Structure 1
Amino acid sequence: MQNEKEERFEDRKGREAILGKHGGIGPASIACVVEMMENLVFVGNGFNFVEYFMSSMHYSPATAANMVTNFMGTTFLLTLVVGFIADSFLTYFTTFIIFCCLELMGLILLTFQSYNPKLQPESDETPSTLQATILFTGLYAMAFGAGGIKASLPTHGGDQLDRRNPRLISRFFNWFYFSICCGCILAVTIVVSIEESKGWFWSFTTSVGILALALFIFMAGLPFYRFKSPTGSSLKRITKVIVSAHETEISLIWMRR
């Protein structure tokens, strides 16, 4: 692993980051706040989608449960793909912005569908092709967005801190995990409460507002962040390591002979 001296961090204009001006505890703390807000939205909706699919979209319990399983699986499997993309081609800041906007658009689409009765099936019918298309487009836009956020936000926060201070890094990820837990607690109290008392439209609307605010807070820290440029394709680096190890093994075999 490269140490702090070998790593080059830049400011938003591509100039070398200045210690004390870019990065530090403050910018890293923004990641914790944003994570709490995003997880509030993700958990508050994702873990209660079964009820929405059954009550509003009239899917069977088995189908609704399977849809939620696919939604969750897509979200967490996508973190592997997005982590590779962010490490190889984009900064973690850019990755977060792209996928946060994607999740926000998915939520807006679900909000619009929950508001318009024409986009919901009648009580004795299953969703039409158009209704199902809107539902799955919004649902998987949200899944892709959440997966991208989970892959980029923790690393972006960690990049704000000095790698030569492992205690500080460890403390940051402790607080980051605490933020995840706080988001879960608020999700099952605030979002679920709004859904049960006001309905799905207001639940989705609240989620849109919270995620939009999280995006605004994250972008407000732009002048204070430091960024590490993409390092190129991870596959190339992995291939080089494998080839190097193979060549070393062959050399050792010949030396033994």
Structure 2
Amino acid sequence: MAEEVNFTKDGTVDYKSQPANKKKTGTWKACLFILGNQFCERLAYYGMSSNLLLYFTNQLNQHRTNFVMPLVGAFLADAYLGRYWTIASLSIIYLIGMTLLTLSASIPGLRPTCHKKDVCDATGYQTTVCLVALYLVALGTGGIKPCVSSYGADQFDDADEVEKGRKSSFFNWLYFCINIGAVIGSSFLVWIQVNIGWAWGFGVPTIAVAVSVAFFLLGTQLYRYQKPGGSPLTRVSQVVMASLRKYHVKVPEDRSILYETQDAESLIVGSRKLEHTEEFRFFDKAAVEIPSDHTDNSNSINPWRLCTVTQVEELKGIVRLLPVWATCIIFNTVFGQMWTLFLLQAEYMDIRLGKSGFKIPEASLSTFDHLGVILWIPIYDRFIVPIARKFTGHKNGLTQLQRIGAGLFISIFAMISAAILEIFRLRIVKKHNMRNVKTPPISVFWQVPQYFIIGCAEVFTNIGRIEFFYEEAPDSLRSLCSALSLSTAALGSYLSSLLVTIVMDISTRSGKEGWISDNLNCGHLHYFFLLLAVLSAVNLAVFVLVAKRYTHKRAVGTLR
């Protein structure tokens, strides 16, 4: 009995596929390697991507590139490879891509021929090599992103209340390390690209990726591993198909007679059994056993006709997450303004640092947001959580849904702050009759409050969302649900573009200048920021309703 206490109860194993020993594996001793990996990887990513548009425009004469890969990596991790091998293999692909990108910017023949600074001609071959490198980078970084947070959380035993209580801090410090790396990458490495050259500008991030891979592999013997559960798409399809086939079957009042395995473990490898819930009862039909469910009149079950309660609840769990997921899209629309309209606003402000004449690279302005996150995470973890715990009685101070809601509320003030600054800027323009002057005498540092407020909102909403989707996802779908959570960033960006298109179409009718004018001094950018503030307030109200009605996942027992 004493020996059993030394092993995890959530089904994790060690690198030899033996039950994971709590004293020798997992917790912070394993997570330190994951945090180091993410610090280096994010440093490399932001160092490479912050100025990528400039490289595409000036060096390759290209104008757009887009990568969406998180769902691929998440599917591989949950279904077949497991999180460790997904991260390890895609990190190698990431490193190959970064190496090829560095070579394409440094080796004669692969490097575009430049007549003078930022005036270059790239051949089709040179462009192709660069694009191949970027697609490899996209596959690598996009694929590992949803797996890393889940893999780090796997190092804490869900069945151990002490270890489970430390998991929330892990998400905080993971985000902290990510933003430390982002600050260095989007400032120092951007400076290298602008002032030294693209060869070193891409070379240093490549070295950082190599170090990140080394960090991850060094922790191999300390990690805990979750076994992959097979294709989640197949299991979900089986529930949907079985439910449709039994649309005429009535679900019994006694839910205990719904089909489930008698063993302590679930039929899904690496997943605990889930208790039945009353929502989405149509899918319960898939777990109602009838004679035709058996194959060839034998005792074997046709999985496309009969599914376990756990399998049904797995699908319900995904459906329950969707309303929460949807309410995070508006937040990411606000978040995305840092790389769009905040930068446009900054173009009409003084970007010089004091009287030194040093100009802050526009690609580095998001550093203010990262600094805000770095400031707020220790405050949240060390001060807000203990204080909130006294009022709520919750071990983490705030529940994950409360934390997300707090961030949604705070994000409203980021847009109000940006709108107030724009009103103030336009008044100076009007007062000094400077409509045709692009940089009136107002410092870009007045943007710092709006960046810091978004940083604070991130600490609440983004970290809370990552933790929430991990905790509420079925055990065998955690990477996939993390990828679903991350997809709100892309959708927030698309929504922002859609809103801009609609606003410009309406506001420019009858020959009017429009809210977002080619000359911002003649526009009304503050109206757009206030529109986002109103949409954020409505979104918050919807989120509160969703959160009140949310039914939490209830796992049954342990896996060992």
Please give the secondary structure, in 2, of the residue aligned with 1:10.
coil
Find the aligned partners of 1:248 and 1:12 in 2 and give their Cα distance. 43
Aligned to 1:162: 157
- Could you say if the C-alpha distance between residues 245 and 135 of structure 1 is closer, same or farther in structure 2, counting changes exceeding 3 Å? same
Residue 234 of structure 2 corresponds to residue 231 of structure 1: no
**In structure 1, what is the equivalent of residue 199 of structure 2?**
201
Equivalent residue runs for 1:52-63 within 5 Å: 52-57=55-60, 59=61, 63=62
Q: Percent identity?
A: 28
Question: C-alpha separation between the residues in 2 aligned to 1:105 and 1:252?
Answer: 56
Partner in structure 1 of residue 18 of structure 2: 15
Count of aligned residue pairs for this structure pair: 239
- 2:132 is equivalent to residue 137 of structure 1: yes
Cα separation, 1, equivalents of 2:114 and 2:47: 25
2: CA distance between counterparts of 1:50 and 1:190? 17
In the alignment, the residues of structure 1 paired with residue 33 and residue 248 of structure 2 have an alpha-carbon distance, to the nearest angstrom, of 50
Matched position secondary structure for 1:97? helix
Structure 1 counterpart of 2:171 = 173
Q: Structure 1, residues 137-180: CA drift from partner, whole Å, max 9, x if none?
A: 11111111111120221111111112134432221111112222
The structure-2 alpha-carbon separation of the partners of 1:248 and 1:208, relative to structure 1 and needing over 3 Å to count, comes to same
User: For residues 251 and 151 of structure 2, what CA distance do their matches in structure 1 show?
Assistant: 43
Aligned to 1:83: 74
Query: Residue 183 of structure 1 corresponds to which residue in structure 2?
Result: 181
- SS of residue matched to 2:25: coil
Pick 1 or 2: higher relative contact order, CA cutoff 8 A, min separation 6: 1
Distance 1:24 1:246 in 2: 44
CA distance in 1 between counterparts of 2:81 and 2:152 reads 15
Cα deviation for residue 192 of structure 1 reads: 1.2
Report the counterpart of residue 30 of structure 1 in structure 2: 33
Partners of 1:192 and 1:52 lie apart in 2 by 11
Q: 2:55, 2:248 → 1: CA distance? A: 60
210-219 or 114-123, which deviates more: 114-123
Alpha-carbon RMSD across the aligned residues, in angstroms, is 2.2
For residue 11 of structure 1, give the secondary structure of its aligned residue in structure 2. coil
Q: Which amino acid aligns with 1:216?
A: A
| Contact 1:29–1:157, Cα closer than 8 Å, also in 2 | no
Q: 1:149 to 1:248 in 2, by over 3 A?
A: same
Partner Cα separation in structure 2 for residue 237 and residue 32 of structure 1: 33
- Give TM-score scaled by structure 1 length: 0.85
Corresponding position: 1:148 with 2:143: yes
Q: Say if 1:254 and 1:154 are closer, same or farther in 2 by CA, change over 3 A.
A: closer
Partner of 2:421: none
Q: Which structure: greater helix fraction?
A: 1
Contact 2:154 2:224 in 1 (8 A): yes
Tell whether the 8 Å contact from 1:28 to 1:161 is kept in structure 2 after alignment.
Answer: no
**AA in 1 matched with 2:231:** S
Pairing 1:43–2:32 present: no
Distance apart, 1:118 and its partner CA: 1.9
Helix, strand or coil: the match of 2:26? coil
What SS does the aligned partner of 2:200 have? Answer: helix
Shift of 1:129: 2.3
Cα 1:242–1:170 shift into 2, 3 Å:
farther
Cα distance in structure 2, aligned partners of 1:140 and 1:224: 32
Relative to structure 1, the CA distance from residue 170 to residue 246 in structure 2 (aligned partners, 3 Å threshold; closer, same or farther) is farther
Is residue 31–residue 153 contact of structure 1 (8 Å, CA) maintained in 2? yes
**Gap runs ≥5 in structure 2:** 1-7, 254-560
Change beyond 3 A, Cα 1:126–1:118: same
Alignment match, 1:116: 107
Quote how far apart the aligned CAs of 1:243 are.
4.7
TM-superposed deviation, 1:246: 5.1
Q: Distance in 2 between matches of 1:248 and 1:107?
A: 52
Q: Deviation string for 1:72-114 (max 9, x for gaps)? A: xx1xx31112101110001211111111111111111111111
- 8 A Cα contact 2:50 2:186, kept in partner: no
Q: Which amino acid is 1:169 matched to? A: K
- 5+ unaligned residues in a row in structure 1: which ranges? none
Q: Amino acid of the residue matched to residue 114 of structure 1?
A: A
* Mapped partners of 1:32, 1:246: distance in 2: 45
Runs of 4+ in 1 over 6 A off after TM superposition: none
- Shift in Å, 1:247: 7.0
1:228-250 residue CA offsets vs partner (Å, 9 max, x unmatched): 11111112321344356557764
Give the AA of the match of 2:29. Answer: G
The one-letter code matched in structure 2 to 1:129 is G
C-alpha separation in 1, matches of 2:97 and 2:151: 23
Indicate the residue corresponding to 2:299 in structure 1: none
